[in-house]
Structure 1
Amino acid sequence: MHRVIDRPIAASPAETFTCAVPAKGEPYLLTPGPLTTALSTKEAMLRDWGSWDGDFRAMTAQLRAGLLEIAGDTAGDYDCVPLQGSGSYCVEAMLGSLIPRDGHALVLANGAYGKRIATTLGYLGRTATVLDKGDYLPPRGAEVERLLAADSSITHVVAVHCETSSGILNPIEEIAAATAKQGRKLLIDSMSAFGAVPLDVRQIPCEAFVSSANKCIEGVPGFGFVIARKSALQEAKGRSHSLALDVYDQWDVMNRTGQWRFTPPTHTVAAFIEALRLHKLEGGQAGRLARYANNRDVLVAGMGKLGFEPLLNARWRSPIIVTFFAPAHPSFRFERFYESMKQQGFIIYPGKLTVADSFRIGCIGQVDEHVMRAVVRACASSLREMGVPGAEPPAAALEERKALADAD
């Protein structure tokens, strides 16, 4: 059984959205996904579905329509193509289907996922130029415009919306404007942002973007989706390097039959339908963003009182996940800190930076400000357990952060 926090987050005439607390023994997943899900989302997976049955085809259609609504596709210029597999499968499918084999991609990287895009393009045999901004700073529209103006062979720009290795929220609006100004096509990895951070295709011109079921919509792992211009999907016919990851063929079969080409993740789809309902009940993208942003602010403020410092300045800090510098005290060991937090009911994430020891705490999923305050108390308890009197980071890490911020 779940205990429900007695505090409404958003109201509906028929129902109130609340965050559920996991039962004893089930920890909070404070990660960028998979994440803690609602009890009703879990319960939606308790029935088996026939993958070719009309009821399941109707669920697939509902899923696609619901995602297009969140994306703001009122003109009908885009379509939604769900694909089996994790988010990285969908990123590769988008790249391999929508970038021609003689295309040239400008990859905007400031963390592990931008670099993974560049690696994927190498596997696909696509030409790529990488703008690597390191761990602290975003690519800016002016930089993108200069690079595109200097190299007419670049056909596509590929950007990560929220780079969760650092927690940075990239300025996708100005990147999109710069790309459009230079007449190139923008592909967005919005894996950990879509559904909470605004990505409205009426305001952010893009050829396509990808996301996943187990992120800000708060579903469970099993599929991702490509939302792309119909014209781009039509042009992708025969282009993919892979049968399973052919976005055009998946789109074509779904439109003709209502079915997935290969065995679909039926239980994940059923869970996602319930997650979409809860998303709308909370107030859609705006409501979810408000909760996640408040989670972040409560977390950062509480951790600051313990001496923890976030990697990023507030200007670029996303509402998805926050990276903190590891404390400088010699008794601090992340492995021990992690286990202590787990014993208290919280699964956190190790750091994924190249320049500083760090760890990450997610702000998304079925969590709210009460959970964030409990996380801070657990961190304080873990520090006491390790004999760490304060969580201040090494002075050199703060000096580097300040130098880079001053240069931006």
Structure 2
Amino acid sequence: MSDKTSAVAASPSGDPWLLTPGPLTTSVATKEAMLHDFGSRDKKFIEINRRVRSSLLSIINGQDDFVCVPLQGSGTFSVEAMLGTLVPQDGKLLILVNGAYGHRMAKICSYYGRAHDVMEYPEDQPVSISDLDARLNEDKAVTHVAVIHCETTSGVLNPIAGVAEVVEKHGRSLLIDSMSAFGALPVDASKIRYDAVAASSNKCLEGVPGMGFVLIRRTALEKSKGNAPSLVLDLYDQWVQMEKTDQWRFTPPTHCIVAFEQAIREYEAEGGVDGRGGRYASNCKILVDGMRALGFETLLPDHLQAPIIVTFHKPTDPKFDFQNFYDRLAERGYLIYPGKLTVADSFRVGCIGRMGNDDIRDALVVIKETLSEMGVENCAPAAA
């Protein structure tokens, strides 16, 4: 850990460090890519779009069996499009829930009138493979299963390989929301059987917000014509248009896509999943070790903690006030996240984005100084 940091820390572009699950701190080169304008039907932009789609398929080793369908909007747009397009009106979705994003899937299904059930677990626990096996044995009406790869409500990592094995055994279709993990944790389609995985530009691939994408098994997408209850979120129609013309149906987020291509170049140069995931894992360990040294306790044990965002119990010291803590860190150039749990008072600190080990160490120095300024002496949570 550094001995000192500047009074106000800043990323290389002069912006605060975003210790969040996304949007994230991005590289200067990624930001600079947005300084140019592109026509959505121009040949140069069409080539960029083609390269981005191909690169995303390479990340999952899915070039032979999968297609990439990008979509305007946040990651939730793509998750909603995935569910609406791939779960037919006479289908039934079983959603594995251990946080807010699983509940969001259920809400989408309610809006669309899609039959669905929920298997719910505490926010600090992974979903159960054995429970899923038993449920699929019992409920033959389930056609699709949905799971969150890394549930950022808590930071818990779900066992998607085991889930995939059970779903395949029962002959059902698996849909994965890998929004907060894609690019840092493997979803290799040659090793894990699933029909679709959804993610977005502004998470572990370190692009800017504005688009999501769904990587879909071609045979599953070909069967989905007419399923979508939405025009703009119809992934089948979007795919058909792109295959015919290499163009988006509606105005694409051109600046976001150009920046995304630059971000993907940097991702590949870092070593792909192994390189990016390795840096994040190192960031996470430094963060967790440093916070524990200050007296904080993590919500999750290390074996359940994904290297994306870490949930810490709020101290019971009466001088600790989260909003004061947050505001002081923000004034020093670090933005963290409030908690989103029902099981415990907490706050969250992200370890992803364009920052390295020394940047995390500097953040820990500022956190220590901030606690001292607030007069907080005991960072332990209430006894369980």
Shorter-chain TM-score tier: over 0.9
Structure 1 segments of 4+ aligned residues over 2 angstroms from their partners: none
Counterpart in the other structure of 1:121: 109
Q: Partner letter of residue 373 of structure 1?
A: R
Map 1:61-140 onto structure 2 (within 5 A).
61-74=50-63, 76-140=64-128
Please report how far the alpha carbon of residue 21 of structure 1 lies from its aligned counterpart in structure 2 after TM superposition. 6.2
Please report how far the alpha carbon of residue 25 of structure 1 lies from its aligned counterpart in structure 2 after TM superposition. 4.9
Please report how far the alpha carbon of residue 142 of structure 1 lies from its aligned counterpart in structure 2 after TM superposition. 1.3
- 1:189 to 2:177 alignment: yes
Please report how far the alpha carbon of residue 24 of structure 1 lies from its aligned counterpart in structure 2 after TM superposition. 7.5
1:263/1:73 CA distance change after superposition, 3 Å: same
Q: 2:10–2:16: 8 Å Cα contact kept in structure 1?
A: no
Q: Partner letter of residue 339 of structure 1?
A: D
Distance in 2 between residues matched to 1:321 and 1:270, nearest whole Å: 27
Q: 1:324–1:358: 8 Å Cα contact kept in structure 2?
A: yes
- 1:51 to 2:32 alignment: no
Worse-matched range after superposition: 78-87 or 136-145: 136-145
Distance in 1 between residues matched to 2:232 and 2:335, nearest whole Å: 33
Over the matched positions of the two proteins, sequence identity in percent amounts to 51
Counterpart in the other structure of 2:16: 27
Please report how far the alpha carbon of residue 379 of structure 1 lies from its aligned counterpart in structure 2 after TM superposition. 1.3
Q: 2:154–2:299: 8 Å Cα contact kept in structure 1?
A: yes
State which of 347, 360, 364 in structure 1 corresponds to 2:348.
Answer: 360
1:366 counterpart SS class: coil
- 1:163 to 2:145 alignment: no
Please report how far the alpha carbon of residue 391 of structure 1 lies from its aligned counterpart in structure 2 after TM superposition. 0.8
Map 1:213-252 onto structure 2 (within 5 A).
213-252=201-240
1:41 counterpart SS class: helix
Q: Partner letter of residue 306 of structure 1?
A: L
Q: Deviations over 1:85-110 (max 9, x none)?
A: 00000000000000001111110010
Over the aligned positions, Cα root-mean-square deviation in angstroms equals: 1.1
Q: Deviations over 1:164-183 (max 9, x none)?
A: 01000111000000111111
Distance in 2 between residues matched to 1:24 and 1:211, nearest whole Å: 26
Q: 2:150–2:157: 8 Å Cα contact kept in structure 1?
A: yes
Q: 1:140–1:174: 8 Å Cα contact kept in structure 2?
A: no
Counterpart in the other structure of 2:167: 179
Q: 1:113–1:160: 8 Å Cα contact kept in structure 2?
A: yes
Counterpart in the other structure of 1:153: 141
State which of 284, 287, 302 in structure 2 corresponds to 1:314.
Answer: 302
Q: Partner letter of residue 263 of structure 1?
A: T
Q: Partner letter of residue 163 of structure 1?
A: E
Gaps of at least 5 residues in structure 2 are 1-8
Distance in 2 between residues matched to 1:367 and 1:323, nearest whole Å: 19
Q: Deviations over 1:199-218 (max 9, x none)?
A: 10111100101000001110
1:276 counterpart SS class: helix
1:360/1:100 CA distance change after superposition, 3 Å: same
1:24/1:69 CA distance change after superposition, 3 Å: closer
**How many aligned positions are there?**
376
Counterpart in the other structure of 1:389: 377
Worse-matched range after superposition: 139-148 or 48-57: 139-148
Q: Partner letter of residue 94 of structure 2?
A: L
TM-score for the superposition, normalised by structure 1: 0.91
Q: Partner letter of residue 19 of structure 2?
A: L
2:344 counterpart SS class: coil
Counterpart in the other structure of 1:8: none
TM-score for the superposition, normalised by structure 2: 0.96
Please report how far the alpha carbon of residue 390 of structure 1 lies from its aligned counterpart in structure 2 after TM superposition. 2.0
Counterpart in the other structure of 1:143: 131
Q: 2:12–2:28: 8 Å Cα contact kept in structure 1?
A: no
Counterpart in the other structure of 1:10: none
1:395 counterpart SS class: coil
Distance in 2 between residues matched to 1:384 and 1:342, nearest whole Å: 16
Q: 1:41–1:219: 8 Å Cα contact kept in structure 2?
A: yes
State which of 292, 296, 316 in structure 1 corresponds to 2:280.
Answer: 292
2:318 counterpart SS class: coil
Q: Deviations over 1:219-277 (max 9, x none)?
A: 00000001001111111111101000000000000000000000000000000000010
State which of 32, 39, 48 in structure 1 corresponds to 2:28.
Answer: 39
Please report how far the alpha carbon of residue 140 of structure 1 lies from its aligned counterpart in structure 2 after TM superposition. 2.1
Distance in 2 between residues matched to 1:44 and 1:290, nearest whole Å: 26
Q: Partner letter of residue 252 of structure 2?
A: P
Q: 1:106–1:154: 8 Å Cα contact kept in structure 2?
A: yes
1:242/1:24 CA distance change after superposition, 3 Å: closer
Counterpart in the other structure of 1:333: 321
Q: 2:13–2:28: 8 Å Cα contact kept in structure 1?
A: no
Q: 1:25–1:345: 8 Å Cα contact kept in structure 2?
A: no
Q: Partner letter of residue 348 of structure 1?
A: I
1:57/1:168 CA distance change after superposition, 3 Å: same
Q: Partner letter of residue 45 of structure 1?
A: M
Distance in 2 between residues matched to 1:241 and 1:234, nearest whole Å: 16
Q: 1:237–1:248: 8 Å Cα contact kept in structure 2?
A: yes
Q: 2:184–2:274: 8 Å Cα contact kept in structure 1?
A: yes
Distance in 1 between residues matched to 2:107 and 2:200, nearest whole Å: 20
State which of 28, 40, 49 in structure 2 corresponds to 1:60.
Answer: 49
